């Protein structure tokens, strides 16, 4: 960012703080800054568009707040964001709402001087399409797993995602050009000794923040690892026989969170799931087909922050009852605002 851009950003933040923190009107701000109301309005819009301002509306009568509390209490997860969705919406629409919320949340946690690990997938791809530009300094985005298929090692799926995240934050991108799954564990072991690969593996281990979703065998919005030609029919049969319920970064786990002795993991390019226990791990998940996987990921301690749609959150908690109708006109609202 050049000096002019930095000054513009500084002024936008100042206007946002006056408007949201001090509750000044646009007219009063214009007088204080000796500018026009239209300039103040443009600066506020610019602050919103560039992720400097994030607004959340919370209705005390709504269920998401209760669900967030219940999920934290039951699973010991540090932070939960339950995203309200229309009752009549399709699961594809739920995912769009969750991705938009997650995009705003990422801007509140990704700052300067950090390493961010990205696990590719359908949900993370939707998230990448909803990102809001936020300039940062000395930030690296690294792919957590390879995306090559049995048909082509030169898969752009994972690389494009990392490049998109890095461009959004003005950061450095580090792709991981290896297969999602190797044919033989010995091949993976040998490649992992190469210095160029070790450099990427070391960067993954230094990640401060991990962004990922949970893969599911079947759902209305298919998981890329299951629908993208990465697994053979025999692989899927083996996973079901081993009672696998989901994966994170192409590393599979069972309902109790166990994963080390799942046979396919010896050929997977993703990191040990212990990494997710030790870092700020952000799981973005949407769709009822992912319920078992979300439960297992929470039970395994792989999730520090969960961002999930309301219907899926209910099913994770075992409550499949329809949400009670809310009063149309008498519900009061409170607004929680955060400016960064």
- Whether 335 is in a domain gets the answer no
Q: Please give the Cα distance from 230 to 195 (Å, whole number).
A: 26
Do 138 and 199 sit in the same domain of this protein? yes
Do 95 and 37 sit in the same domain of this protein? no
CATH number at residue 294: 3.40.50.1360
Q: Using 50 as the pLDDT threshold, list the residues of the chain that sit under it.
A: 61, 320-340
Domain of 25, in residue numbers: 3-49
Do 29 and 78 sit in the same domain of this protein? no
- Whether 60 is in a domain gets the answer yes
- Whether 137 is in a domain gets the answer yes
- Whether 334 is in a domain gets the answer no
Contact 46, 274 (CB under 8 A): no
Q: What is the largest CA-CA distance in the chain?
A: 70
Helix (H, G, I), strand (E, B) or coil at 306: strand
Do 13 and 115 sit in the same domain of this protein? no
Q: How many domains does the structure of the chain reveal?
A: 2
- Whether 133 is in a domain gets the answer yes
Question: Closest Cα partner for 82 from 337, 298, 316?
Answer: 316
At residue 41, the pLDDT reads 93
- Whether 255 is in a domain gets the answer yes
Tokens 């083996």 correspond to what residue? 238
- Whether 325 is in a domain gets the answer no
At residue 56, the pLDDT reads 63
Do 107 and 256 sit in the same domain of this protein? yes
C-alpha 93 chain-centroid distance? 16
At residue 306, the pLDDT reads 98
Do 288 and 147 sit in the same domain of this protein? yes
Do 60 and 45 sit in the same domain of this protein? no
CATH number at residue 16: 1.10.10.10
Do 36 and 140 sit in the same domain of this protein? no
For the chain, give the mean pLDDT.
87
Do 40 and 152 sit in the same domain of this protein? no
At residue 59, the pLDDT reads 56
Distances (CA, A) of 326 to 70, 111, 322, 332: 20, 38, 12, 11
Do 277 and 238 sit in the same domain of this protein? yes
Do 151 and 254 sit in the same domain of this protein? yes
At residue 320, the pLDDT reads 41
- Whether 204 is in a domain gets the answer yes
At residue 8, the pLDDT reads 87
Do 177 and 261 sit in the same domain of this protein? yes
């Amino acid at each position: 960012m050049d000096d002019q851009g930095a000054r513009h950003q500084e002024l936008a933040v100042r206007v946002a703080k006056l408007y949201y923190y001090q509750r000044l009107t646009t007219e009063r701000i214009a007088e204080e800054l000796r500018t026009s109301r239209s300039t103040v309005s443009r600066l506020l819009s610019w602050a919103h568009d560039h992720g400097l301002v994030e607004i959340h509306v919370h209705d005390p009568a709504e269920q998401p707040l209760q669900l967030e509390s219940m999920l934290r209490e039951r699973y010991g997860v540090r932070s939960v964001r339950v995203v309200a969705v229309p009752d009549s919406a399709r699961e594809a629409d739920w995912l769009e709402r969750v991705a938009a919320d997650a995009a705003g949340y990422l801007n509140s946690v990704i700052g300067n001087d950090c390493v961010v690990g990205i696990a590719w997938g359908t949900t993370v791809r939707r998230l990448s399409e909803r990102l809001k530009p936020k300039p940062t300094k000395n930030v690296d985005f690294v792919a957590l797993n390879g995306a090559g298929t049995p048909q082509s090692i030169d898969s752009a799926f994972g690389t494009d995602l990392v490049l998109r995240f890095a461009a959004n934050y003005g950061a450095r991108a580090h792709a991981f050009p290896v297969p999602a799954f190797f044919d033989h564990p010995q091949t993976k072991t040998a490649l992992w000794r190469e210095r160029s690969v070790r450099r990427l593996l070391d960067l993954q281990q230094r990640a401060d923040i991990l962004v990922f979703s949970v893969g599911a065998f079947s759902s209305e919005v298919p998981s890329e690892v299951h629908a993208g030609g990465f697994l053979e029919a025999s692989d899927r049969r083996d996973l079901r026989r081993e009672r696998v319920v989901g994966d994170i970064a192409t590393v599979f786990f069972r309902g109790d969170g166990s994963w080390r002795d799942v046979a396919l993991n010896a050929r997977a390019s993703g990191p040990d799931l212990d990494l997710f226990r030790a870092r700020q791990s952000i799981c973005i998940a949407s769709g009822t087909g992912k319920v078992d996987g979300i439960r297992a990921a929470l039970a395994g301690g792989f999730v520090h922050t969960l961002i999930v749609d309301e219907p899926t959150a209910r099913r994770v908690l075992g409550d499949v009852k329809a949400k009670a109708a809310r009063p149309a006109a008498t519900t009061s609202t409170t607004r929680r605002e955060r400016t960064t």
